[in-house]
């Protein structure tokens, strides 16, 4: 964030000592503490929201004198009313950290941004990390420790634990088991190791529903030990993505997205990369690839074996009985041609053997050290510790007396067949440390509320091993324990505070000069030089059985692909309204997770969108609505995990379908149509398969572009009779690079968080009333079975000849002197004519008092943006509040206004958005607008938009001819 | 045929007609002028505070600078209200037992903030920024009036949109020399530099200062 | 009796009706002690519907327009289209009353009171919609120009603003127009009333109109002037309503043909409603000898004419769409004609253009059940036409990613039928309490005829 840059990177200590600072924070929102101390029912929440309107709603009437001014008793340094402070920390998902910066107003966290110093962020941020703001403020978060469902005091728990320590000491921890998610935190690992030394017979299980074990095992097969492969996409001329999760769910995806984008705009990169995607279900990478080939699991393995045979000497030949698609040969040519500058990447959901094969191919093509690196593993998940399966077996056999579950929810997410619930009953002393009273927590003997990551000290490693220290952003809103504190309690009664423990860990690392290093690490959010070392491991000869190791599915049988929900991950975000209502990239679905099936399969079973169907795998079956997904492999059904929670909270409970019962089951699946239909909410209200017309979205191939660079760009704008460019000093404008956009939705959440945009709920979305200011339009073109897909972010174009302006009878939407199309909420009477007259349909209307009914306390709104009441039109303002702040800062010092970054821009991992003063020829936006790819949407409307696009250029292999087609199967 | 109405009807009808016309006129006048009236805008209405703080005593009497208490006025949108500590810097030495100050001492001991009643309030959709106005030479009194003369603080100006625009359309005449920004005694004299000079001195940009986006977001 | 079945060659007024007898009959209707039974039967449902309207409005103000079906991108729905529909009906009445007054058409005299009442209550029904339509209705007065503490004025370039003022003018003017025409008749009723209460009641309403020569001169002059004003006002109001759409760049709206097209629509629905009111009333009040087959014939012919104009407009609509090169317009037209809203488009076409063609047949023009059926069709057709213009156009913006659909909710329909109840209830009240035929104009008509006869 521009305005924070000077104040950024300050640690809490510098903020005048935690005690003061945090005391300040709790003072800052006394009524939040008060209102959230007790568990909140909906009515209470509504009361809160009503209060929020008093605080910052529109109808704040200017003759009212009732409001109070509440100064602090004592103000720590750096806390200035109405100024923003920013502190670095990290967001941990699936064990891997991404650096973030949390912005505070008067001590309240209100916005999350990426940390430019952090290798996994580079300043970008994903939807999850941004939405964690709502998790922090979530009124459904538990307030009290509970013993078998009955509220208990912390003292009770500690006495119970003391008794446990005695018995554990007696039998050297024979009955003690620890269950966590993937852990990369040096502190936690050290603590658990210490615990295991104290109780040698205890065991530790790391388990993630979204598992990356196959990746490790693949490396194990290929190199004899677990390794992590770190792609260097900016170095890769060719990327062969085998069902790759590089842009969707792989750790470090933000960085990969950045590197990917660096080679995609022919106008800026020295040589455009070429991306082949071979996958059973559309992924983000596949959707933006130059060639996307559809292949089910069996075909996928077959193709990879064939590629290996073509490249790796000594690799066994593919099964001659199976046909190979005709594009294999040109693909192989292309791959060999790019020796040393090529990468083959296999997604985590593919079996270990395919990973091993890919390692072999990569090694043979010599990209190591250039287009990818191999590093020592960041986490020892999978390789070390006891597998969940055997833990459950032990529990059932009653050999486990003491089970500590930290931030894991196996009761919901473990395979149903393993029957964790039953096993848990056999454990006399089970403790669940969780932020919500979730499924597992409710079944465990003891439920201990876990503090949010922003309320305690911890640390974690990023995809490349770089460590970050997580520092608290506020005092706990609820009484609770962090993971670190809990483990401390397990070891000794007089537990050290989390801060002491974390400091202890890093004292050992930093040695003397600790203070400086510690401050530096807190300030930058990165602990220097902690990245994992590159591995020198050599490739082993490929085991012979590899080609027979392809999954034993024949193409006729159906396969269920269980993937993390693009917005809810493994379900831990199910109670987050922003994420629930975040349109999934390719389906634009919200609040739902139907089965994704191919058009062919739908036709065969006579299924329409929303029809119910029952999918059965090995005697366990789930009935769910279906959604027809163009580009899906006909023999595959995709199911998103993470919905259908039973105890997520008032937002997530009962939303969508729970597919975990289908996990870890062998054999083929069957799909039968069921009577019944469900209305699925999608923000694209006509599920049309449309070629994006050049009027709207211009695209072409690299060869066309090289032939005539101007092919896609806008012709000279016709002179306007009426107003020309506004007089102001600055001319705010935006350019969006369609070559960079991967449809990841980070911008949408950023916009929602920055601009206090309401969540409206499934019913209102079904009524076509979603409120997102920024939407990502998704178009398909070509053959429904294997379409080409396009992403196009659409926000207010800030037209210089804005049609909305001259139809408003009260002048509530007008132009300002710097070219912004301003929406003055408090002047709006709600005729809605402006929306009718907007060719881009970027205006949203408060049909109902949405802002009153948000599932968040008033203190979580952004105080710099008006909260809109019902009956008022709203739309993208180019983050006018940030412009105003920058302008004021500049004017105070009588200097020209500096750079302003919009929320969408600062969040975007690929830098697709560029915003700035186009009047300044040296500005990035001016440079991008002079690109031959520059075009404006619906140009013939003569609106002269300030937001323009760079046309999408793809780089297909001429030898493969028609861009993307399905393999013969 | 017998008359339906007596002679009085003539008068009655006229009266009624006039009354209706009059009512309409009065209604319109009220609708036009009431909202802008000082009464409707609480101008001059003293507000009872938890502590009867007298600006006249502290500012005019003791000559304490505005920024001593409203410390963030030069850097932030918000001028800032003094934390209890600021009050106690002096009142831990003098008037230590004054019953008037009991709430202040209690605030410190109990670590509970003092809840001052807001005197000059703007609608929540108006984003006023103190720092830029100070930086460009608008003195406190321009909007807050003669605070130094207020035993109990009251709202001195209407602070309607009209009031703001009046200055934003032609800021020059309202500006003060930098030395006079917090000077409660200052009055414009012939020696005072003219509007143009001040505008130049403060580098007030020749930007349109009446853009909606300037105050409404 | 032959006079009771309308015939084409009926005179404008049956022979043998003298001024006195006519005046007596009309006043008798107004001065009845107790209303007819059929009146109560008709009035009860209207009252119920009006109550429903009140509920719908109350709920709307409490909850917000989200209770309607409007959405993104179809931001306008029933409120606007019903508004246009009502305005058209009202304007039709004005045209009969004002335009044909200026043309001195004698067939107008016996039905202009009905037409004017129709204008009045149509305008009132229309008048409430623009306010209900607002997201924040309590701020509607921001469309006025008045000195305010924000130093802001309304925005002149917006068609909605023109519309607001045109509507205001129109409603006020129609009230006055109606009332002026009523004065002498109120006086006659007052003079014939026996009970003191009624005499005082009508006495006050008549504003002391004693029929002195001077008063007659003034009254005639005023009425003529009002008529001369109303005629252009009604054209302007409906053209401006047309501009609400033509003034927007939205596909399906952005067309210069809208203003005249809308005026023709007004004529069509106006004549239809007049017929729908005249036919039952002449029967129930036994006025067949004053509202004769001649009247029906004329109105039917006029209806046919305006229907032809509408047909032309539809034709031009299709032509200009495909003459132009805007893909969005083409897509929109295809969707209208063959998409999910197909019934609306073809319904409008059949009811407004094809059905009235039956009036080419002479017999149909005096066959009351037939006329009623056709007019009902036209009224529905006109509503469908507005639905097609407002809703279908908005459902197909330029970007396919923003395509939407619209479905009216219970509250949409409640408001619509509520206003219908209010309208009919108003008409019934007028029938009950004011002379249903303009007696003074009828007297002139009779005088002129007797003069002509004696002259012959």
Q: Which of residues 692-721 of A touch C (CB under 8 A)?
A: 693, 695-696
Q: Give the pair of three-digit tokens for residue C60.
A: 């709307």
Q: What is the pLDDT of residue A722?
A: 67
Q: Give the pair of three-digit tokens for residue B199.
A: 């505008």
How close is the nearest chain B Cα to the Cα of C45, in Å? 35
Task: Please list every residue in chain B whose beta carbon sits closer than 8 Å to the beta carbon of residue A879.
Answer: none
Among the listed residues C436, C251, B37, the one whose alpha carbon sits nearest the alpha carbon of residue A836: C251
Each residue's pLDDT tens digit, C162-194: 999 999 999 999 999 999 999 999 999 999 998
By C-alpha distance, the chain C residue nearest B169 is: C151
Q: How is C322-375 classified by DSSP, letter by letter? A: HHS--HHHHHHHHHHHHSTTHHHHHHHHIIIIIGGGGGGSHHHHH-HHHHHHHH
Q: What percent of chain C has pLDDT over 90?
A: 70
Task: Please list every residue in chain C whose beta carbon sits closer than 8 Å to the beta carbon of residue A840.
Answer: 398-399, 402
Q: Do A814 and B212 make contact, defined as CB atoms within 8 angstroms?
A: yes
Indicate the residue of B111, B121, B135 with minimum beta-carbon distance to A64: B121
Query: CA A70, CA C384: separation in Å to the nearest integer?
Result: 59
Q: Do A835 and C72 make contact, defined as CB atoms within 8 angstroms?
A: yes
Chains in contact with C, where contact requires at least 3 CB pairs less than 8 Å apart: A, B
Query: CA A654, CA A242: separation in Å to the nearest integer?
Result: 34
Whole-number mean pLDDT of chain A?
Answer: 86
- Sign of the torsion formed by the C-alpha atoms of B40, B46, B48 and B53: positive
Each residue's pLDDT tens digit, B206-216: 888 999 999 99
Q: Between chain A and chain B, how many beta carbons pairs sit less than 8 Å apart?
A: 150
A872 touches chain B (CB under 8 A): no
Q: Give the pair of three-digit tokens for residue A733.
A: 């404008």
Task: Please list every residue in chain C whose beta carbon sits closer than 8 Å to the beta carbon of residue A873.
Answer: 135
Q: Please list, residue by residue across A172-205, b when 16 or more beta carbons sit within 10 angstroms of its beta carbon and e when fewer do.
A: ebbbbbbbbbbbbbbbbbebbeebbebbeebbbb
Mutation pick from A53, A82, A475, A810 vs chain B, by most beta carbons of B within 10 Å, is A82
Q: Do C149 and B35 make contact, defined as CB atoms within 8 angstroms?
A: yes
Q: Do A684 and C401 make contact, defined as CB atoms within 8 angstroms?
A: yes
Indicate the residue of C149, C150, C199 with minimum beta-carbon distance to B4: C199
Query: CA A837, CA A840: separation in Å to the nearest integer?
Result: 9
Q: How is A183-241 classified by DSSP, letter by letter? A: ---HHHHHHHHHHHHHSTT-EEEE--SS--HHHHHHHHHHHSS--EEEE-GGG-SEEEE
> Which letter does DSSP use for residue A958 in this model?
G
Could you tell me which residues of chain C have a Cβ less than 8 Å from any Cβ in chain B? Answer: 146-152, 190-191, 196, 199-200, 203, 208
Q: Do A65 and B42 make contact, defined as CB atoms within 8 angstroms?
A: yes
- Is residue A925 a contact partner of residue A916, using CB atoms and an 8 Å limit? yes
A171 touches chain B (CB under 8 A): no
Q: Give the pair of three-digit tokens for residue C454.
A: 């004696």
By C-alpha distance, the chain C residue nearest B163 is: C149
- Is residue B177 a contact partner of residue B193, using CB atoms and an 8 Å limit? yes
pLDDT, average across residues A919-923: 91
Mutation pick from A681, A757, A811 vs chain C, by most beta carbons of C within 10 Å, is A811
By C-alpha distance, the chain C residue nearest B16 is: C204
Q: Which of residues 86-105 of A touch C (CB under 8 A)?
A: none
- Is residue A400 a contact partner of residue A426, using CB atoms and an 8 Å limit? yes
Indicate the residue of C69, C76, C154 with minimum beta-carbon distance to A836: C76
Q: Give the pair of three-digit tokens for residue C40.
A: 């109560």
Please tell me whether the interface predicted TM-score (ipTM) of this complex is above 0.90: yes
pLDDT, average across residues A217-238: 92
Each residue's pLDDT tens digit, A342-356: 999 999 999 998 999
- Is residue A583 a contact partner of residue A566, using CB atoms and an 8 Å limit? no
3-state secondary structure of A621: strand
By C-alpha distance, the chain B residue nearest A64 is: B121
Each residue's pLDDT tens digit, A24-50: 334 444 344 333 333 333 333 333 333
Query: CA A260, CA A277: separation in Å to the nearest integer?
Result: 14
Each residue's pLDDT tens digit, C5-28: 888 888 888 888 888 999 999 999
A716 touches chain B (CB under 8 A): no
Each residue's pLDDT tens digit, C40-72: 999 999 999 999 999 999 999 999 999 999 999
Q: Please state, as a whole number, how many other Cβ atoms lie within 10 Å of the Cβ of residue A678.
A: 15
Task: Please list every residue in chain B whose beta carbon sits closer than 8 Å to the beta carbon of residue C200.
Answer: 4-5
C179 touches chain A (CB under 8 A): no
What is the enclosing helix (H) or strand (E) of A836? helix A833-836
Q: Do A81 and B80 make contact, defined as CB atoms within 8 angstroms?
A: yes
Minimum mean pLDDT range among A321-335, A719-733, A946-960, C99-113:
A719-733
Each residue's pLDDT tens digit, A371-396: 999 999 987 755 567 889 999 999 99
Helices C368-387, C342-349: axis angle to 10 degrees equals: 140
Task: Please list every residue in chain A whose beta carbon sits closer than 8 Å to the beta carbon of residue B123.
Answer: 60-62, 826
C-alpha dihedral over B181, B185, B186, B189, to 10 degrees?
180
Q: Give the pair of three-digit tokens for residue A775.
A: 């939407």
Indicate the residue of C136, C155, C394 with minimum beta-carbon distance to A811: C155
Indicate the residue of A809, A835, A837 with minimum beta-carbon distance to C249: A837
C398 touches chain A (CB under 8 A): yes
How long is chain A? 969
Mutation pick from C63, C66, C130, C391 vs chain A, by most beta carbons of A within 10 Å, is C66
Indicate the residue of B5, B13, B165 with minimum beta-carbon distance to C151: B165
Query: CA C398, CA A945: separation in Å to the nearest integer?
Result: 15
Checking if the pLDDT of A540 tops 60, the result is: yes
Q: What is the pLDDT of residue A484?
A: 94
Whole-number mean pLDDT of chain B?
Answer: 90
Q: Give the pair of three-digit tokens for residue A812.
A: 């509530």
Q: What is the pLDDT of residue B5?
A: 84
- Is residue C309 a contact partner of residue C267, using CB atoms and an 8 Å limit? yes
Checking if the pLDDT of B26 tops 50, the result is: yes
Q: What is the pLDDT of residue C149?
A: 83
Whole-number mean pLDDT of chain C?
Answer: 91
Each residue's pLDDT tens digit, C225-246: 999 999 899 999 999 999 999 9
Q: What is the pLDDT of residue C324?
A: 86
Q: What is the pLDDT of residue A492?
A: 85
Mutation pick from C331, C402, C408, C412 vs chain A, by most beta carbons of A within 10 Å, is C402
Q: If you search the block for the tokens 């619906």, which residue do you land on?
A: A938
Beta bridge partners of A616: A621, A670
The pTM score is: 0.91
Pairing of strands A699-701, A146-147: unpaired
Q: What is the pLDDT of residue B37?
A: 86
């Amino acid at each position: 964030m521009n305005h924070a840059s000077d104040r950024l990177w300050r640690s809490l200590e510098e903020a005048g000592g935690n005690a003061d600072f945090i005391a300040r924070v709790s003072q800052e929102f006394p009524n939040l503490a008060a209102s959230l101390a007790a568990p909140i029912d909906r009515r209470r929440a509504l009361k809160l929201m009503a209060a929020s309107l008093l605080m910052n709603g529109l109808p704040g009437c200017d003759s009212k004198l009732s409001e109070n001014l509440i100064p602090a008793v004592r103000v720590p340094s750096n806390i200035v009313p109405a100024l923003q402070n920013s502190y670095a920390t990290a967001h941990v998902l699936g064990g891997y950290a991404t650096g973030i910066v949390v912005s505070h107003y008067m001590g309240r966290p209100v916005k999350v941004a990426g940390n430019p110093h952090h290798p996994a962020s580079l300043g970008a941020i994903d939807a999850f990390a941004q939405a964690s703001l709502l998790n922090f403020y979530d009124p459904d978060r538990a307030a009290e420790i509970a013993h078998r469902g009955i509220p208990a005091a912390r003292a009770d728990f500690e006495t119970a634990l003391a008794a446990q320590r005695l018995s554990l000491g007696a039998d050297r921890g024979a009955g003690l088991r620890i269950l966590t998610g993937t852990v990369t935190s040096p502190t936690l690992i050290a603590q658990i190791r210490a615990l295991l030394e104290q109780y040698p017979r205890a065991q530790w299980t790391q388990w993630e529903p979204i598992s990356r074990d196959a990746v490790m095992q693949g490396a194990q097969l290929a190199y004899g030990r677990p390794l992590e492969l770190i792609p260097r996409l900016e170095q890769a001329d060719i990327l062969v993505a085998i069902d790759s999760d590089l842009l969707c769910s792989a750790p470090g995806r933000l960085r990969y997205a950045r590197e990917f984008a660096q080679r995609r705009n022919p106008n800026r990169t020295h040589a455009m990369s070429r991306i082949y995607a071979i996958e059973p279900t559309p992924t983000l990478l596949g959707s933006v690839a130059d060639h996307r080939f559809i292949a089910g699991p069996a075909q996928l393995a077959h193709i990879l074996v064939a590629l290996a045979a073509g490249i790796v000497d000594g690799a066994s030949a593919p099964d001659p009985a199976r046909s190979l698609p005709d594009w294999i040969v040109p693909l192989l040519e292309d791959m060999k041609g790019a020796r040393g500058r090529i990468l083959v990447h296999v997604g985590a959901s593919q079996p270990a053997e395919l990973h091993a094969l890919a390692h072999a191919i990569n090694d043979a093509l010599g990209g190591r050290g250039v287009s990818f690196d191999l590093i020592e593993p960041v986490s020892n998940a999978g390789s070390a510790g006891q597998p969940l399966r055997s833990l459950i077996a032990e529990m059932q056999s009653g050999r486990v007396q003491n089970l500590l579950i930290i931030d894991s929810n196996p009761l919901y997410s473990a395979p149903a067949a393993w029957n964790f619930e039953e096993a848990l009953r056999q454990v006399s002393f089970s403790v669940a440390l969780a932020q919500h009273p979730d499924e597992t927590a409710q079944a465990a003997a003891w439920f201990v509320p876990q503090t949010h990551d922003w309320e305690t000290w911890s640390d974690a490693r990023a995809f490349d091993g770089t460590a970050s220290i997580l520092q608290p952003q506020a005092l706990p809103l609820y009484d609770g324990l962090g993971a670190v504190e809990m483990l401390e309690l397990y070891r000794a009664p007089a537990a050290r505070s989390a801060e002491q423990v974390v400091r202890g860990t890093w004292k050992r690392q930093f040695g003397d000069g600790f203070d400086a290093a510690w401050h530096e690490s807190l300030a930058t959010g990165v602990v220097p030089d902690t990245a994992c070392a590159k591995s020198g491991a050599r490739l082993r000869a490929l085991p012979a059985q590899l080609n027979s190791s392809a999954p034993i599915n024949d193409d006729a049988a159906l396969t269920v692909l269980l993937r993390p929900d693009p917005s809810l991950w493994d379900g831990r975000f199910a109670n987050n309204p922003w994420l629930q209502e975040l349109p999934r990239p390719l389906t634009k679905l919200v609040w739902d997770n139907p089965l994704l099936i191919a058009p062919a399969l739908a036709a065969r079973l006579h299924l329409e969108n929303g029809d119910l169907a029952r999918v059965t795998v090995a005697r366990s079956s789930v009935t769910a609505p279906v959604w027809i997904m163009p580009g899906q492999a006909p023999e595959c059904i995709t199911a998103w995990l993470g919905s259908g929670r039973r105890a997520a909270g008032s937002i997530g409970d009962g939303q969508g379908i729970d597919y975990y019962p289908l996990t870890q089951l062998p054999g083929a699946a069957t799909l039968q149509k069921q009577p019944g239909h469900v209305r699925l909410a999608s923000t694209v209200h006509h599920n049309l398969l449309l070629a994006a017309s050049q009027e709207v979205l211009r695209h072409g191939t690299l060869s066309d572009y090289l032939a005539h660079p101007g092919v896609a760009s806008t012709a000279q704008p016709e002179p306007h009779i009426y107003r020309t460019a506004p007089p102001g000093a600055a001319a705010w404008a935006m350019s969006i690079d369609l070559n960079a956009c991967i449809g990841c939705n980070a911008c949408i959440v950023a916009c929602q968080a920055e601009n206090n945009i309401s969540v409206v709920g499934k019913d209102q979305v079904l009524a076509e009333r979603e409120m997102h200011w920024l939407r990502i339009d998704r178009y398909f073109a070509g053959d429904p079975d294997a379409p080409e897909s396009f992403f196009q972010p659409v926000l207010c174009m800030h037209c210089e000849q804005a049609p909305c302006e001259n139809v408003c009878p009260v002048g509530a939407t007008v132009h300002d002197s710097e070219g912004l199309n301003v929406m003055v909420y408090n002047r709006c009477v709600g005729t809605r004519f402006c929306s009718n007259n907007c060719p881009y349909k970027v205006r949203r209307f408060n049909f109902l008092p949405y802002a009153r009914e948000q599932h968040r306390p008033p203190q979580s709104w952004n105080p710099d943006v008006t909260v809109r009441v019902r009956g008022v039109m709203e739309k993208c303002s180019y983050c006018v509040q940030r412009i105003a702040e920058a302008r004021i800062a500049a004017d105070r010092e009588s200097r020209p206004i500096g750079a302003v970054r919009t929320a969408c821009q600062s969040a975007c991992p690929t830098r697709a958005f560029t915003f700035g003063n186009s009047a300044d020829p040296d500005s990035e936006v001016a440079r991008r607008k002079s690109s031959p790819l520059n075009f404006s949407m619906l140009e013939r409307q003569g609106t002269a938009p300030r937001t323009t696009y760079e046309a999408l250029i793809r780089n297909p292999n001429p030898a493969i001819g028609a861009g993307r087609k399905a393999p013969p199967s | 045929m017998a008359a339906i109405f007596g002679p009085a009807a003539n008068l009655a009808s006229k009266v009624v007609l006039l009354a209706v016309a009059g009512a309409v006129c009065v209604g319109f006048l009220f609708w036009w002028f009431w909202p802008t009236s000082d009464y409707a805008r609480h101008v001059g209405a003293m507000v009872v505070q938890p502590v009867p703080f007298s600006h006249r005593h502290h500012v005019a009497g003791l000559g304490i600078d505005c920024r001593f208490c409203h410390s963030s006025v030069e850097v932030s949108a918000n001028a800032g209200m003094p934390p209890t500590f600021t009050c106690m810097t002096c009142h831990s030495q003098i008037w230590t037992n004054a019953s008037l100050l009991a709430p202040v001492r209690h605030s410190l001991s109990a670590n509970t903030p003092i809840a001052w009643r807001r005197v000059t309030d703007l609608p929540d959709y108006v984003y006023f920024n103190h720092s830029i106005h100070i930086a460009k030479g608008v003195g406190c009194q321009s909007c807050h009036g003669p605070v130094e003369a207020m035993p109990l603080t009251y709202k001195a100006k209407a602070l309607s949109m009209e009031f703001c625009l009046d200055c934003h359309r032609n800021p020059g005449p309202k500006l003060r020399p930098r030395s006079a920004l917090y000077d409660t005694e200052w009055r414009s004299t012939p020696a005072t530099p003219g509007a143009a000079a001040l505008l130049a001195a403060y580098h007030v940009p020749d930007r349109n200062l009446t853009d909606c986006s300037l105050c409404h977001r | 009796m032959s006079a009771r079945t309308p015939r084409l060659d009926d005179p404008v007024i049956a022979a043998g009706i003298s001024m006195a007898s006519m005046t007596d009959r009309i006043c008798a209707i107004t001065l009845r002690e107790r209303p007819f039974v059929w009146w109560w039967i008709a009035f009860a449902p209207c009252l119920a519907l009006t109550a429903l309207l009140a509920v719908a409005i109350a709920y709307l103000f409490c909850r917000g327009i989200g209770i309607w079906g409007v959405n993104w991108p179809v931001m306008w729905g029933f409120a606007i289209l019903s508004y246009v529909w009502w305005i058209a009906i009202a304007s039709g009445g004005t045209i009969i009353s004002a335009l044909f007054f200026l043309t001195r058409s004698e067939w107008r005299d016996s039905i202009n009171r009905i037409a004017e009442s129709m204008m009045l209550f149509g305008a009132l029904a229309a008048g409430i919609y623009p306010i209900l339509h607002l997201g924040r209705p309590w701020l509607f007065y921001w469309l006025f120009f008045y000195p305010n503490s924000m130093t802001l004025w309304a925005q002149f370039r917006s068609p909605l603003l023109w519309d607001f003022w045109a509507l205001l003018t129109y409603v006020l003017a129609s009230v006055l127009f109606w009332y002026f025409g009523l004065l002498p008749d109120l006086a006659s009723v007052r003079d014939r009333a026996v009970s003191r209460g009624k005499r005082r009641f009508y006495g006050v309403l008549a504003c002391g109109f004693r029929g002195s020569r001077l008063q007659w001169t003034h009254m005639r002059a005023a009425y003529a002037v009002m008529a001369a004003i109303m005629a252009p006002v009604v054209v302007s109001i409906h053209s401006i309503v047309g501009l609400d759409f033509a003034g927007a760049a939205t596909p399906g709206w952005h067309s210069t043909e809208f203003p005249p097209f809308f005026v023709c629509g007004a004529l069509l629905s106006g004549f239809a409603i007049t017929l729908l009111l005249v036919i039952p009333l002449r029967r129930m009040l036994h006025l067949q000898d004053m509202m004769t087959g001649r009247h029906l014939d004329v109105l039917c012919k006029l209806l046919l004419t305006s229907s032809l104009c509408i047909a032309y407009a539809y034709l031009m609509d299709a032509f200009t769409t495909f003459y132009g090169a805007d893909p969005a317009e083409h897509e929109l037209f295809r969707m209208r004609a063959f998409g999910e809203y197909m019934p609306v488009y073809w319904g409008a076409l059949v009811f407004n253009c094809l059905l009235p063609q039956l009036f080419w047949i002479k017999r149909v023009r005096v066959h009351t059940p037939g006329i009623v059926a056709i007019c009902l069709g036209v009224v529905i057709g006109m509503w469908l036409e507005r639905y097609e213009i407002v809703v279908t156009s908005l459902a197909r913006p330029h970007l396919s990613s923003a395509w939407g659909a619209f479905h009216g909710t219970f509250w949409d329909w409640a408001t619509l039928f509520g206003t219908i109840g209010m309208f009919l209830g108003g008409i019934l009240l007028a029938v009950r309490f004011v002379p249903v035929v303009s007696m003074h104009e009828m007297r002139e008509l009779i005088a002129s005829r007797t003069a002509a006869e004696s002259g012959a």
